[in-house]
Structure 1
Amino acid sequence: MSCVALLPAAGSGSRMGSDTPKQYLDLLGKPLIWHTLAALSRVEELARIVVVLSPDDAWWDSYDWSAFPTLQVLRVGGASRAESVLNGLQALSTQIPADSWVLVHDAARPCLAPQLVRKLIDTLLGDAVGGILAVPVADTLKFAAPDQTIAHTHPRGGLWQAQTPQMFRLADLAGALETGMGPDITDEASAMEKLGLAPRLVHGSPWNLKVTYPQDLALAALILQAGDALTH
């Protein structure tokens, strides 16, 4: 059965405090998203890698992407991540079967280990719903009061931190996003959950970092430089 990676990359990355969109920030001499594509391109099970850009993206064509022969670009990005994913799925629906598996991955997770993607695919290929990479929460969690004092401590047992890729069938995920779009949909799994479905949790890695704030870029560089010593 076909597996396709889909990367929503239409955002501005405003929390990075830069005029350059986050996916194009320099990371070890390459744009950040280049490293993400490099990791995915090493997963033989992926038939293609699809990047969803903003229609007015002026950065993409400034770089050389020839290292990724299975790469496809769709300039159908929306105002939110969910809209970009849905638009990408709708465009793909005319090209690949409705039951194809789509692995939605954050463009700003450049430290993804290819073996984790293979593990996700192997675990979920026969699953009725799909699932996500995630890691159990290790830290003590505090609920804050409005004045930034601790209101209470929340038990961490059973809590997991969602990561990507998140793997669902094309038609199922598109249908979930079409019917469940809203501020409570913060990832693909939450759209599936809103339909009453229960995606599977597949153990990921703490090194699968999402670059969100400026200091994350330096940490991502350290992880990438450490290479296989950390990504296993």
Structure 2
Amino acid sequence: MPKAFVELRGRPLLRWALDQALGCPEVGRLVVVAPASWLVAARDIVAEALAESGRGPCDEEPGVRVDVVVGGEERRESVSAGLGVLGVDDGLVLVHDAARALTPPALFSRVVDALRSGHGAVVPGLPVADTIKTVDEAGTVVSTLDRGTLRAIQTPQGFVREVLVHAHEENLEVAVTDDAGLVELTGTPIHVVDGEAWAAKITTPEDLDAAERRLATVGGRP
């Protein structure tokens, strides 16, 4: 089962992520990327989220536009598929992982505000608490990094659309773990804003348990 459809408190992570994104007033369009065999399920989840958010289309307002498209085998292919349905009017793009399902709307707004202030690429990050060492293939410590200069990077990651499109076009064969890594290769400065503990990734049973405990402390809603 894709991570986005794993349930937390009886709701798919995708639904949690949509609810949080729709809680950000700056978000006016969403593109959900899903495997082909899960498109119908994704569309159903999107429809429910829009209906309950009050941000779906109505007589008075056009509402948030949502596209659901087929992704690829790799993250880069999925992001490219999402970019493919955007137009020139979609000037700012946020790339978000549904696995970071409890990311608060305030973090989306923080990233958007930084983009609007003039940055071409923005990522949220948290200070690293643990000591980080580089280790060779034999398991021997090579060096100890200054954790004061390190940040654990989260999503949503924000970009001026042209910056992200260019990065994807220029680095087709480079292996990276996030879109900021692609943009970094183009020489575009990447600005870091404060991240959120709520934006932790939920990928393992232990992560799900931790999210359950965290939700229990706030009455079930982040």
TM over 0.5: yes
- In the alignment, structure 1 residue 65 sits paired with structure 2 residue 47: yes
Task: Give how far 1:125 is off.
Answer: 0.6
Corresponding position of 1:81? 75
Does the 8 Å contact 2:15/2:46 carry over to 1?
no
Deviates most, 47-56 or 194-203: 47-56
Distance 1:228 1:144, change over 3 A: farther
Task: Give how far 1:61 is off.
Answer: 5.3
- In the alignment, structure 1 residue 97 sits paired with structure 2 residue 89: yes
TM-score in terms of structure 2 length: 0.84
TM-score in terms of structure 1 length: 0.80
Residue identity (%): 33
Aligned ranges for residues 50-61 of structure 1 at < 5 Å? 50-57=31-38, 59-60=41-42
Number of residue pairs matched by the alignment: 209
Distance 1:230 1:150, change over 3 A: farther
Does the 8 Å contact 1:110/1:220 carry over to 2?
no
- In the alignment, structure 1 residue 117 sits paired with structure 2 residue 108: yes
Corresponding position of 1:25? 6
- Structure with bigger helix share is 2
Does the 8 Å contact 1:131/1:201 carry over to 2?
yes
Does the 8 Å contact 1:36/1:110 carry over to 2?
yes
Does the 8 Å contact 1:132/1:165 carry over to 2?
yes
Deviates most, 25-34 or 173-182: 173-182
Distance 1:110 1:128, change over 3 A: closer
Task: Give how far 1:46 is off.
Answer: 0.7
- In the alignment, structure 1 residue 188 sits paired with structure 2 residue 179: yes
Does the 8 Å contact 2:18/2:49 carry over to 1?
no
Q: Distance in 1 between matches of 2:33 and 2:153?
A: 21
Task: Give how far 1:35 is off.
Answer: 0.7
- In the alignment, structure 1 residue 178 sits paired with structure 2 residue 169: yes
Corresponding position of 1:15? none
